Amino acid sequence: MSFILQTERLGLRQLSTADAPFILQLLNTPGWLKFIGDKKVYTLTDAEKYLIDGPIKSYHDNGFGLYLVADKDTGEPIGMCGIIKRDTLDCPDIGYALMPEYIGKGYAYEIAAAVLQYAQRDLQLSALCAITLPINIPSKNLLEKLGFKSQGPFQMAGSTETLLLYRI
């Protein structure tokens, strides 16, 4: 496996269309649907399109994107983490999501801290944003633990949903 980066327990690698079965699962977990939203990925074809139009396009266009988080020893996919460039934010933002069975075990902090370091050191990103729903207390706590500072309520262009914006 060629990981972009590794931590004590995890590896990060680019996503490919071969990851469609995992993406189909992840994007339909209760946590994803509640805190990130329904991306209308209901079939393997939808998952492949999500990958091609999202992370894979972002690698080409931006030099970064969302990556697959895997158990370093087994290669088993456990989630996604990476950097997203959105037109509605003035800096790229960090995003992460794990399968339910891996939540609450320190994996999100472990991989998000490594991605933050990668973004600053290797990608030379001087600022990073993060967005989360006000009800997502674990995400708010994680962002603050990583050193992000709350910028207050925020609405994406064309949306009425209130999010919290963080910056580092």
Can you give the pLDDT at residue 30? 95
The alpha carbon dihedral of 7, 41, 165, 103 has a sign of negative
- Superfamily of domain 5-167 in CATH is Gcn5-related N-acetyltransferase (GNAT) (3.40.630.30)
Can you give the pLDDT at residue 1? 63
- The residues spanned by each domain of the chain are 5-167
CB 72 within 8 A of CB 86: no
The alpha carbon dihedral of 62, 87, 57, 67 has a sign of positive
Report pLDDT digits (tens) over 96-155: 999 999 999 999 999 999 999 999 999 999 999 999 999 999 999 999 999 999 999 999
Return the number of other C-beta atoms located less than 10 Å from residue 106's C-beta: 10
Can you give the pLDDT at residue 99? 98
pTM, two decimals, is 0.93
Site of tokens 């994406």: 156
